[in-house]
Amino acid sequence: MVFDKSNNVSNCSCTSGCCVDARGIQTGKRRITIDFLYLDLDVCERCQDTDTSLDEALAEVARVLEMTGVEVRVNKVNVINEELARAYRFVSSPTIRVNGRDIQMEVKESLCESCGDLCGDEVDCRVWVYQGREYTAPPRAMIVEAILKEVYGGDSANRAEQEAEQEYVIPENLRRFYAAMEKKKTLSYPE
């Protein structure tokens, strides 16, 4: 660790956030990762609205996170096939995870006309439940609350390990969606 003339760390190779300057102030940034997993952003209104809510929530909480030294990494992943669904242990669309943990553990779904139109079959998408009410997209407050809980009181490592231990099976709803999309693609581009 090298200090510049103002007693601040100017060069640190540590990635654990453990470095402190000469005054004993922690200088390493804490990091959180937010994964936004979705089926479609062109047609699906629920995915589009969730994307918008996530962006707005991040804008609202950005200053607090910056002031407290928290760095946010956002991954937006279009889960276009069963292979990606398995890789991300995708359960319902859309999904927002903070440090690997779904911000709404209970999965509740309802018929999504947008995704049905997209694939030509009936598909259910996530319904978000926040403070006793149901929404087709998560309210910004729900996302902000999940981020702040993780930053200031989360035990994500333990929760992520517990969730990883559970066997993953692609839900029938997603299986049907991917099969319908593949069939639609085959009909659109015959060999």
CATH code reported for the domain at 30-188: 3.40.30.10
Residue 113 has a pLDDT of: 92
- As a whole number of angstroms, the distance between CA 113 and CA 137 comes to 14
Residue 25 has a pLDDT of: 52
- As a whole number of angstroms, the distance between CA 59 and CA 180 comes to 36
DSSP string, 83-150: HHHHHHT--SSSEEEETTEES--S--EEE-HHHHHHHTS--EEE-EEETTEEESS--HHHHHHHHHHH
Residue 152 has a pLDDT of: 86
Which element (helix H / strand E) includes 82?
A: helix 82-88
Residue 9 has a pLDDT of: 31
Structure tokens that stand for 26 in this block: 């922690």
Domain segments of the chain: what residues? 30-188
Residue 20 has a pLDDT of: 44
Per DSSP, the three-state class of 177 is helix
Low-confidence ranges of the chain (pLDDT < 50): 1-24
Structure tokens that stand for 177 in this block: 């969606």
Query: Global pTM?
Result: 0.78
Supply φ then ψ for residue 11, to 5 degrees. -150, 110
Residue 8 has a pLDDT of: 32
- As a whole number of angstroms, the distance between CA 56 and CA 135 comes to 16
Residue 28 has a pLDDT of: 66
Residue 185 has a pLDDT of: 79
